[in-house]
Structure 1
Amino acid sequence: MKKLLTAIMVVLLLPLLSKAQYTISGSVSEKTNQTFLPGASIVLKGAGYGTKSGAMGKYQLSNIKAGKYTIAVSFLGFETQQKIIEVNGDQNVDFSLIQSAYLADEVIVMATRATEKSATTYKNVSKSEIEANNFGQDLPFIINNTPGVVVTSDAGAGVGYTGLRIRGSDATRVNVTVNGIPLNDAESQGSFFVNMPDFASSVENIQIQRGVGTSTNGAGAFGGSLNIQTSSPALSPYAELNNTYGSFNTLKNTVKIGTGLIDNKFSFDGRLSRIQSDGYVDRGASLLKSYFLSGAYHGKTDLLRINVFSGAERTYQSWNGVPESRLNGDIAGMNAYVSRNGLNERDSINLLNSDSRKYNSYLYKDQNDNYWQDHYQLLYAKQLSEQFSFNGALHYTYGRGYYEEYKDNQEFANYGLPNPVINGAPVTETDLVRRRWLNNNFYGVTYAFNYRPQSNLNFTLGGAYNQYRGKHFGQITWAEVASALNNSDHYYDGRGNKNDFNVYAKANYSPIEKLSLFADLQYRRVNYDITGTDTYQQVFDIHQDFNFFNPKVGATYFVDKTSNIYASFSVANKEGNRDDYVNTKAGILPKSERLYDAEAGYRIKDNRFSAGVNVYGMIYKDQLVITGELTDVGSNIRQNVPDSYRAGIEIDGSYTISQHFLINANAALSRNKIKEFNEQIYNYDINDYTTINYKKTDISFSPNAVVFGELVYKPFIGFAIALQSKYVDKQYMDNTQNEQRKLKGYWVNNARLGYDFSFKGVKNMNIGLLANNILNKKYESNGYTYGSISDGVRTTDNFYFPQAGTNLLLSLNVKF
């Protein structure tokens, strides 16, 4: 691998030996209101040069020899513009593009997107940024460098099961939509990107809204939201081959094809992907497959698009993490852990002899998670008049899958089975293999009407109605001692049915040129039923109805053409997830949560510099948190705490130092507190829970500081080196703010190299290298803890998810 990298670096640096004479630079904007267009394609015809416009619409072509050239600029939804120039010195050439005659795909997500007039906190991630960071890792790792985001990987290398937190809020509190259609699982409320491998290769752009954000569809946004738009059609036919290979035998193969616009009306696009990896953790392997198909009709006033995409994942489970004693190489601690948890000889040997950071407690060869998910979207948009437009969607998602696990010494009674009688004596336990299944159907409609009666006034009326039907059941596929159950029989059967209706009305009004007022009112009704039995034979018959009113107001004042200040206040409500109902005390149901979110900030951007500063306060009522109390079968119980809050400041900026250097940086500094918290810890001395009261403790997994910096060096056209550094402050694994139960803070440094060039028959070839954790930092990005009291002594078990040391991903992407 070292020899290969050395050879690649030599090839990349050869062009430095020669130097051309002149530079062409300028900006790309939209003609009507002169807003910048980042991500526009700029091509110097006949010279093999090309680039993309940056965040402020700026572009630069360097090392251009004297002569006559045609420079062409294209941007989706706009007419291509060409200019003939005579190069005999450095030149500035600006472009103002005119919108195309057909309706652009951006109208599909417009209703749920924030703008500068929305007075909300957001970050747009362009297609070019996504492509530059897409080496096959899950989507959370591609947006890892945005403000306040913390990511983790169970297998340690960003492939397989990954996690995402925004402002300390986990994935169950982050609303995710794809083309305005909810992606979060209706019951768990999480988003599992492992079910959508390489989806980033079919994404046009992402908007990340922090805090409550604007009204959207699906689960309530308590930490943030991801608004994803899938790929728009290219202007001309294309084919792409994207391949990545790297550490831990990580391999990504992607094929993309598209027709471009046929007769300026039709387009067809497709993608086929495969990702596989052994993972950093022992046996943390993944095999992921997916496809994406899209066909569209583009009219002058309407757009009809059909998207069909699917993902299949098979991952070896690495969900348990590494015990603290194994991580620290503490032999005595590991022996105590073995004794305390009753590990058998095989599992004890595995614990004592594994690599300290790669330990995986699972040894059964088929300890896999298997899931398939199919998505169908029918999207339609219509420009009814200059003032009035509509967009809507019908959607259907079908998911099914199971995880298989080996369990020893299982009591037949726990599976609702009679004890077999062998040689006249009942047998109460057996080793077995079980599968726990989830089959679900999710379908519905989303819509939005937009009315703009005058230039300073805009109304949007939108909403959705979605239904979820989930089936939870289990099978015993093998048992050492046969029972009365066949392999295909179910030992439990549960149902989860959910209806989710919402309607929202938004208005933007500018009473004077520099002031924009924003109002957004949403009503959401949820009906949730849980029936049948769960994994431990408990019977449920739960029926809950919720009616939520979520108002949002804000104002933006434009100081000048380059800067504005804004302030907003929002309210959000959220129901509990399935586990909050299933894992609870008899007769006690969780309350819904409420969030009051105040945001204020300042944004500025000019030709070389853009920055934003945002301060926020998020006040929670009845937030659900883990207290340490467990159900009779050992599952965590989340309980409402009356008062908690998050408050902080976020800074995000970019500065173009020169034609060769660019700096990106952001920081999220926060204070995250529960005003009063009662920990519940089981006390074997009294066979009951002991309550310990705490005041003003940190909310778990909420670092007080998340800081990112990036230096980009572009020595010549097409070549870029990015050095990235990210710091995540310490995180407590429970809500007691105990220094013995925390994740240590960590600095991680990455490097990314990319070289774009072209030659006859190839539109663009990109060689990329992503070097993760280049300083080989040993750190853990996630974990969990539990404890008990016995003989007056508290015993705590901490578990961690170590992340990989230095590792490489090398990519070769070819566009025809």
Structure 2
Amino acid sequence: MKRSIFAALAVLLSPLLSMAQSVLSGTVSDPSGKPLAGATVLLRNQARGANTDNNGQYRITGLNNGRHVITVSFVGYQSVEKTISLDADKTVDFQLSANTFLADEVIVKATRAGERSATTYKNISREEIEANNFGQDLPFILSNTPGVVVTSDAGAGVGYTGIRIRGSDASRVNVTINGIPYNDSESQGTFWVNMPDFASSVDNIQIQRGIGTSTNGAGAFGGSLNLQTAPPQTAPYAELNNTYGSFNTLKNTVRVGTGHIGGGFSFDGRLSRIKSDGFIDRAASDLKSYFLSGAYQGNKDLLRVNVFAGNEKTYQAWNGIPESRLNGDQAGMQAYIDRNYLSEADAANMLSSGSRTYNSFTYKDQNDNYWQNHYQALYARQISDKFSFNGALHYTDGRGYFEEFKSGAKFSKYGLPNVPVNGTDIKSTDLVRRRWLDNDFYGLTYAFNYQPQANLSFTLGGAYNQYRGKHFGEITWAQFAGSIPENYHYYDGKGSKDDFNIFGKINYTLAEKLSLFADLQYRNVGYQISGTDKNLKSLNFDNNYNFFNPKVGATLLLDAQSNVYASYSVAGKEPNRDDFTNLKTGLPVPRPEKMQDIEAGYRFKNNNINAGANIYGMFYKDQLIFTGEINEFSDAYRQNVDKSYRLGLELDASVVLSRQFALNANAAFSRNKIRNYVDYVPEYDDNFDIARLVATTYKSPDIAFSPNTVLFGELVYKPLKGLAAAWQAKFVSAQYLDNTQNNSRRLDAYFVNNIRLGYDFSIAGIRNINLALLVNNILNEKYESNGYTYSSIYQGATTTENFYFTQAGTNFLLSLNLKF
């Protein structure tokens, strides 16, 4: 069967492959004639190109005869563009002049992996970001990379979204923006909803899987996302980007820039808004953001000041859908209603809602509201041809709340006395509460780079950051208000975190074939939690952690097109705030995690193929594992497990089949296990207090939310100049909701297909017009990408509740983008 398919493809493609074709080759050098190894040679508007070898030579085969526009670029040099006509094999040489300005790449150089790095990574270019940016959150733009699984609370990629890399959740994925930490200091997660449309200001992204290189911020236990914002363009520009689609999704973006205006100065700006009703009932989002940047670029200095902010208002959809509602089980829904004492209105909502769009929240202002402002001052200096420095000062101000309606809330849970009404003490009331977070995050990062000779380089870098956060709750309305004091806070908590790290790196190349590296990092974290939490429980945690994170590796250059690499890394990571505040009664205080990461791989790159394969082993000590259980505030519980591991194989390839066809594909196969897992189920007494925890031990179960297979494929077809069509397909195997490997508590496998169309053209006065259409889930797959579960015992009977986050069926996004 497979042979027949391949034979059929060969027959279909043979007319394309038999067209008149030629070879383009040549050399790229600097003004002195010195060859530039690793320069990029690209054919504009085509998925074709090559990198120069150690002798500065390139070769591109299988080019159709005719007119081509060739662009050549190399870091630190001015790009060159030539138009050529091919009617036979041709040799074209290029000479690049040194860049007048210090390149923006120096800002992230210390935390980036290069082509010869013994690190498993994937680079996402600006062109790829633009092609997939229809207004969905950044995780959905990264969804097509190896081992990545994304999810959306609202079901359509706008609002609260999540990302997992190698099965690791966002709190284990280190995110930096221009080398500055972005993860929330206490939860360690990344909330992209606070930075809507930030992708429109990003130039490139590097995803490092596993521990990766030393970087700033929390330890990377699944991967790192290193984002670099867009550098200034040489000429003035303006852009209008607009998207409209299903669920009344709307995106409007304006981008402007002055280009270089003399003296090395430039200014850039962006203003965005995104609105969507969401696939889930009432899961609407109203998002706004801006990005401003001013820069001075000289031949030895670069100073850039970035100011960007986001404002989100998102209706809550984080409770998911009960399994009985999802399956349309009337008896199960009634049992759920009775078991959870739903009000008449809530019961009616459950019974009458759509099985895949149900939202338990109906209060009109059940919204999450948050404002976040970022300030970055980035400076780099080329002190000599061998020595450079880059550093940054940063400050983030975040403030917001989510509002909730609570029915029949007991006064005692809010630290209030009962209210006398007509001679009777009222013990509970309907009320509206707001839970606030007010935080400040500031610090500095730095890196000194020294390259005494071509085959030897050193980096000394690090950071010191401080976080100060306030957590408090307010009651804004109550049916029986009694004597609630003005500006009353029913809880007040504080978090204080100081994070210091210093790292040193050395890279050494032997005989231009073998590259060796060592990367040593020391990190100290001081973390204090005080006050009271949302349950009125006193908090008093004072923690100090010291981590030594060594990394060593080697890369062997097999030839100009391929290399093999291997690395060994160690990392440590502190628990997050919820691990302390949500600590389950009877369990010990959480311990820090440790991990050893072994990576080995092979990379190949020529004119038509860019491919890689790697194997990894991630071995944990005291990994904090989601149990699958949540509390009444929808907070997930985690607990330490003694030993666990992730073993995997990842494949990634981009192949140019012809001038018109290209294929992109990746695959991730893994085994994710806990050696021995103890599951705790609470048993309640007749007063509904926890009487005890019932423990059950499981031998070698799968780690929750860790699919063993993730596959992606994309076929790109470019029949005409400026016109491109792509079919994308993604498969994610089954995942378990908890660590018991119980088939009754899992997410089923799903296979989702998308179609993307794009057409670029220009008319007088408009440099480029792009019309694009993205049709998501074109085959209308009904699937759930996230969920949770919890169990309890009462009067000898065990009850398990499963909840799921459904994703939208067939939906579309249509965009019109104008560049002036």
2:654 aligned partner: 654
2:469 is the alignment partner of 1:470: yes
Q: Provide the rounded CA distance (Å) in 1 between the counterparts of 2:632 and 2:368.
A: 26
Q: Give the partner amino acid of 1:181.
A: I
Q: Provide the rounded CA distance (Å) in 2 between the counterparts of 1:245 and 1:94.
A: 45
1:7 aligned partner: none
The one-character-per-residue Cα deviations of 1:292-346 (angstroms, maximum 9, x if unpaired) are 0001000001100000000000000000000000000000000000001010000
Alignment counterpart, residue 705 of structure 1, candidates 703, 709, 716: 709
Alignment of 1:658-737 (within 5 A): 658-684=658-684, 687-737=691-741
Q: 1:723 to 1:326 in 2, by over 3 A?
A: same
Q: 1:348 to 1:59 in 2, by over 3 A?
A: farther
Q: Provide the rounded CA distance (Å) in 2 between the counterparts of 1:351 and 1:96.
A: 69
Q: Provide the rounded CA distance (Å) in 2 between the counterparts of 1:88 and 1:517.
A: 45
Alignment of 1:475-494 (within 5 A): 475-486=474-485, 488-494=487-493
Q: Compute the displacement of 1:263 (Å).
A: 2.4
1:514 aligned partner: 513
| Structure 1 counterpart SS, 2:129 | helix
1:591 aligned partner: 591
Q: Compute the displacement of 1:426 (Å).
A: 1.4
Q: Provide the rounded CA distance (Å) in 2 between the counterparts of 1:334 and 1:245.
A: 36
2:102 aligned partner: 103
Q: Give the partner amino acid of 1:656.
A: V
Q: Compute the displacement of 1:789 (Å).
A: 2.4
Q: Give the partner amino acid of 1:380.
A: Y
Deviates more, 1:377-386 or 1:78-87: 78-87
Q: Compute the displacement of 1:684 (Å).
A: 3.7
Q: Compute the displacement of 1:93 (Å).
A: 5.0
2:600 aligned partner: 600
Q: Provide the rounded CA distance (Å) in 2 between the counterparts of 1:62 and 1:54.
A: 10
Matched-pair contact (CA < 8 Å) for 1:164–1:171:
yes
| Structure 2 counterpart SS, 1:528 | strand
Q: Provide the rounded CA distance (Å) in 2 between the counterparts of 1:781 and 1:498.
A: 33
The one-character-per-residue Cα deviations of 1:680-727 (angstroms, maximum 9, x if unpaired) are 112347932211110000000000000001100111111111100000
2:40 aligned partner: 37
Q: Give the partner amino acid of 1:202.
A: S
1:497 aligned partner: 496
Q: Provide the rounded CA distance (Å) in 2 between the counterparts of 1:734 and 1:767.
A: 43
Q: Provide the rounded CA distance (Å) in 2 between the counterparts of 1:780 and 1:450.
A: 47
Alignment of 1:388-787 (within 5 A): 388-486=387-485, 488-584=487-583, 585=585, 588-627=588-627, 636-684=636-684, 687-787=691-791
Matched-pair contact (CA < 8 Å) for 2:629–2:788:
no
The one-character-per-residue Cα deviations of 1:37-61 (angstroms, maximum 9, x if unpaired) are 37x684xxxxxxx668658699999
Tell me the C-alpha RMSD between the 2 structures: 2.4
Q: Provide the rounded CA distance (Å) in 2 between the counterparts of 1:52 and 1:178.
A: 28
Q: 1:213 to 1:313 in 2, by over 3 A?
A: same
| Structure 1 counterpart SS, 2:116 | helix
Matched-pair contact (CA < 8 Å) for 1:751–1:772:
yes
Q: Give the partner amino acid of 2:501.
A: N
2:234 is the alignment partner of 1:255: no
2:295 is the alignment partner of 1:292: no
Q: 1:63 to 1:758 in 2, by over 3 A?
A: farther
Matched-pair contact (CA < 8 Å) for 1:168–1:223:
yes
Q: Provide the rounded CA distance (Å) in 1 between the counterparts of 2:495 and 2:692.
A: 32
Q: 1:22 to 1:563 in 2, by over 3 A?
A: closer
TM-score (norm 1): 0.93
Q: Give the partner amino acid of 1:433.
A: V
Q: 1:747 to 1:737 in 2, by over 3 A?
A: same
Matched-pair contact (CA < 8 Å) for 1:29–1:37:
no
The one-character-per-residue Cα deviations of 1:568-594 (angstroms, maximum 9, x if unpaired) are 000000000001111124793211000
Q: Compute the displacement of 1:487 (Å).
A: 5.4
Matched-pair contact (CA < 8 Å) for 2:758–2:770:
yes
Matched-pair contact (CA < 8 Å) for 2:617–2:647:
yes
| Structure 2 counterpart SS, 1:117 | coil
| Structure 2 counterpart SS, 1:491 | strand
The one-character-per-residue Cα deviations of 1:633-691 (angstroms, maximum 9, x if unpaired) are 99654221100000010000111111011011100000000000011112347932211
Q: Give the partner amino acid of 1:611.
A: A
Q: Give the partner amino acid of 1:623.
A: Q
Matched-pair contact (CA < 8 Å) for 1:510–1:517:
yes
2:236 is the alignment partner of 1:237: yes
Deviates more, 1:786-795 or 1:97-106: 786-795
Alignment of 1:299-310 (within 5 A): 299-310=298-309
Q: 1:232 to 1:75 in 2, by over 3 A?
A: farther
| Structure 1 counterpart SS, 2:292 | strand
Unpaired runs of 5+ residues, structure 1, are: 1-19, 43-49
Q: Provide the rounded CA distance (Å) in 2 between the counterparts of 1:459 and 1:372.
A: 40
Q: Provide the rounded CA distance (Å) in 2 between the counterparts of 1:522 and 1:239.
A: 43
Deviates more, 1:366-375 or 1:255-264: 255-264
The one-character-per-residue Cα deviations of 1:401-444 (angstroms, maximum 9, x if unpaired) are 00000001111111111112122221110000000000000000
Deviates more, 1:57-66 or 1:270-279: 57-66
Q: Provide the rounded CA distance (Å) in 1 between the counterparts of 2:28 and 2:287.
A: 40
2:346 aligned partner: 347
Unpaired runs of 5+ residues, structure 2, are: 1-18, 53-58
Q: Give the partner amino acid of 1:604.
A: F
Q: 1:26 to 1:250 in 2, by over 3 A?
A: farther
The one-character-per-residue Cα deviations of 1:125-180 (angstroms, maximum 9, x if unpaired) are 00000000000000000010000000000000000000000000000000000000
Alignment of 1:304-343 (within 5 A): 304-343=303-342
Q: 1:627 to 1:51 in 2, by over 3 A?
A: closer
Query: How many residues in Structure 1 have an aligned counterpart in Structure 2?
Result: 787
Q: Provide the rounded CA distance (Å) in 2 between the counterparts of 1:346 and 1:59.
A: 68
2:807 is the alignment partner of 1:803: yes
Q: Provide the rounded CA distance (Å) in 2 between the counterparts of 1:531 and 1:557.
A: 51
Q: Provide the rounded CA distance (Å) in 1 between the counterparts of 2:28 and 2:740.
A: 52
| Structure 2 counterpart SS, 1:243 | strand
Matched-pair contact (CA < 8 Å) for 1:147–1:668:
yes
Q: Give the partner amino acid of 1:141.
A: F
Q: Give the partner amino acid of 2:277.
A: D
Q: Provide the rounded CA distance (Å) in 1 between the counterparts of 2:438 and 2:421.
A: 36
Matched-pair contact (CA < 8 Å) for 2:40–2:73:
no
Q: Compute the displacement of 1:235 (Å).
A: 1.5
Deviates more, 1:478-487 or 1:109-118: 478-487
1:11 aligned partner: none
Q: Compute the displacement of 1:495 (Å).
A: 0.4
Q: Compute the displacement of 1:116 (Å).
A: 2.8
Q: 1:72 to 1:186 in 2, by over 3 A?
A: closer
Deviates more, 1:682-691 or 1:491-500: 682-691
Q: Give the partner amino acid of 1:780.
A: E
Q: 1:216 to 1:119 in 2, by over 3 A?
A: same
Percent sequence identity is 63
Q: Compute the displacement of 1:389 (Å).
A: 0.3
1:13 aligned partner: none
Q: Provide the rounded CA distance (Å) in 1 between the counterparts of 2:69 and 2:212.
A: 44
| Structure 2 counterpart SS, 1:366 | coil
TM-score (norm 2): 0.92
Q: Give the partner amino acid of 2:670.
A: S
Q: Provide the rounded CA distance (Å) in 1 between the counterparts of 2:272 and 2:731.
A: 32
Q: 1:429 to 1:675 in 2, by over 3 A?
A: same
Q: Give the partner amino acid of 2:519.
A: D
| Structure 2 counterpart SS, 1:118 | coil
| Structure 1 counterpart SS, 2:701 | strand
Q: Compute the displacement of 1:94 (Å).
A: 6.1
Alignment of 1:89-238 (within 5 A): 93=92, 95=94, 97-238=96-237
1:385 aligned partner: 384
Q: Compute the displacement of 1:512 (Å).
A: 2.6
| Structure 2 counterpart SS, 1:132 | helix
Q: Provide the rounded CA distance (Å) in 2 between the counterparts of 1:235 and 1:51.
A: 23
Q: Compute the displacement of 1:626 (Å).
A: 3.3
Q: 1:634 to 1:614 in 2, by over 3 A?
A: closer
Q: Provide the rounded CA distance (Å) in 2 between the counterparts of 1:464 and 1:61.
A: 49
Q: Provide the rounded CA distance (Å) in 2 between the counterparts of 1:392 and 1:362.
A: 46
Deviates more, 1:229-238 or 1:96-105: 96-105
